Structure 1
Amino acid sequence: MKVAVLDSKGKETGRKVELSDDVFGIEPNNHAVYLDVKQYLAHQRQGTHKSKERAEIAGSTRKIKKQKGTGTARAGSIKSPIFKGGGRIFGPRPRDYQQKLNKNVKRLARKSALSIKNKEKAIVVVEDFNFESPKTKDFIQVLRSLGLENKKSLFVLGDSNNNVYLSSRNLKRSEVVINSELSTYKILNNNNIVLFEGALAGIESNLTK
């Protein structure tokens, strides 16, 4: 599939690039997409949640009232979970949320996500550009030229470009990554994908190993 290459002003350059059908034109595998997104979200969790149980509560260990004759239930410790300020029953403990996923499944998921976006005509290819210095207004002008000013967009670079990255950092609806950082979640979490021309070779190489 051939796609026109645009410049940073949103105009056609007169050139076209070939998008590999093995990456951008496959039949999406929804289960692979689900597994990869699930893993990505799980890895965002710190797992540092913790509450104190009765053995960790600071408090007197004396028996707070006699065993019989009070007309109420027995109670042996002020740290009991049934009392205010007592420990928590089966509270959360620190844990690792990391999940394992086969590399082939991850590649299939990313190819599926790109194929979905390509089918929706939500992928744009632009020639590589740079800014003289990091300026948010310059990046906003690029978004406006591409018709993406009010849409969530993901820009995929071929190599690290500090000026472009810093220019986009203050914009909530735009994100800039290099091709090796591309993930299924980021692809699907944005309305449009803007691929730098220099990123295509890296994406196809990473996903067709």
Structure 2
Amino acid sequence: MELQVYRLDGSESGRTVTLDPTVFEIEPNDHVLWLDVKRIEANRRQGTHKVKNRAENAHSTRKLYRQKGTGYARAGDAKSPIRRGGGTAHGPQPRSYELKVNRKTQRLARRSALTYKAQAEAIRVVEDFTFEQPSTRRLLEVLAAQGLADRKVLLLTGEYNPALYLSSRNLPKVRVLEARNASTRDLLDAQVLLMQESAVEVLNRMLRTAPVAA
């Protein structure tokens, strides 16, 4: 697949880039997409939830009243889970929600996400650019020139670009990431992928698969 490369002012540069068919034109696997997004969401959870059980409750351990003759059910101490202020039975405890997915599965999920974007014509390639210093206004001007002013945009760069990252930090609909760090969730969450030329090369190199011998 060939895509036109655009200049910052939105005009065509006359150059094209090739999207590797083993990355951008595969048969998408929805189950693999679900697995990888589930992994990403689960690994973001802190798992620090905690309640006190009866062993950790600060109440006294004295018997509340005599065993027999009161007409009430027998009771041990105030820490019992059935009493107000007592410990919680089977409550949440700190734990890890980490899920593991094979690396090949993760790569297939990213290729599937990129394929969906390519099929939806939601990929736009722009020439490599950077700012001397962070400027949200300049970044907005670039997005407007590309016709993406009101879209949810993921801008993929070929290498770490702190000026662009800082320029997008207070724009709720814009994210800037290195292409190699864009996850399946990041790709699916954006309405449009705005990729620098070098970012296309990075994705082609990272995610391409060798052709199967006949």
Normalising by the residue count of structure 2, what TM-score does the alignment of the two structures yield? Answer: 0.94
Q: In the alignment, residue 51 of structure 1 is paired with which amino acid?
A: V
Q: In the alignment, residue 101 of structure 1 is paired with which amino acid?
A: V
Identity of aligned residues (%): 47
Runs of 4+ deviating beyond 4 Å? none
Deviation at 1:132, TM superposition (A): 2.3
* In structure 1, distance between residues paired with 2:22 and 2:28: 11
* In structure 2, distance between residues paired with 1:150 and 1:74: 67
Give the corresponding residue for 2:59: 59
1:34-81 CA-partner distances (Å, limit 9, x unpaired):
111010001100111111100001111100111122222111111111
3-state DSSP of counterpart to 1:156: strand
* In structure 2, distance between residues paired with 1:80 and 1:34: 42
Give the corresponding residue for 1:138: 138
Normalising by the residue count of structure 1, what TM-score does the alignment of the two structures yield? Answer: 0.97
Deviation at 1:182, TM superposition (A): 1.2
1:142-164 CA-partner distances (Å, limit 9, x unpaired):
12112222221101110011111
* In structure 1, distance between residues paired with 2:85 and 2:144: 56
* In structure 2, distance between residues paired with 1:70 and 1:140: 76
Give the corresponding residue for 2:24: 24
Q: In the alignment, residue 33 of structure 2 is paired with which amino acid?
A: V
Give the corresponding residue for 1:74: 74
Q: Within 5 A, what are the aligned runs for 1:94-113?
A: 94-113=94-113
CA contact (8 A) 2:20 2:208 kept: no
Bigger shift: residues 41-50 or 143-152:
143-152
CA contact (8 A) 2:159 2:178 kept: yes
Q: Within 5 A, what are the aligned runs for 1:12-51?
A: 12-51=12-51
Give the corresponding residue for 1:185: 185
Q: Which runs of 5+ in 1 are unaligned?
A: none
CA contact (8 A) 2:110 2:183 kept: yes
Deviation at 1:208, TM superposition (A): 2.2
Give the corresponding residue for 2:212: none
* In structure 2, distance between residues paired with 1:43 and 1:10: 39
Q: In the alignment, residue 87 of structure 2 is paired with which amino acid?
A: G
* In structure 2, distance between residues paired with 1:80 and 1:22: 61
Q: How many residues align?
A: 209
Aligned-residue CA RMSD (Å): 1.1
Q: Which runs of 5+ in 2 are unaligned?
A: 210-214
3-state DSSP of counterpart to 1:203: helix
3-state DSSP of counterpart to 1:32: helix
Bigger shift: residues 62-71 or 119-128:
62-71
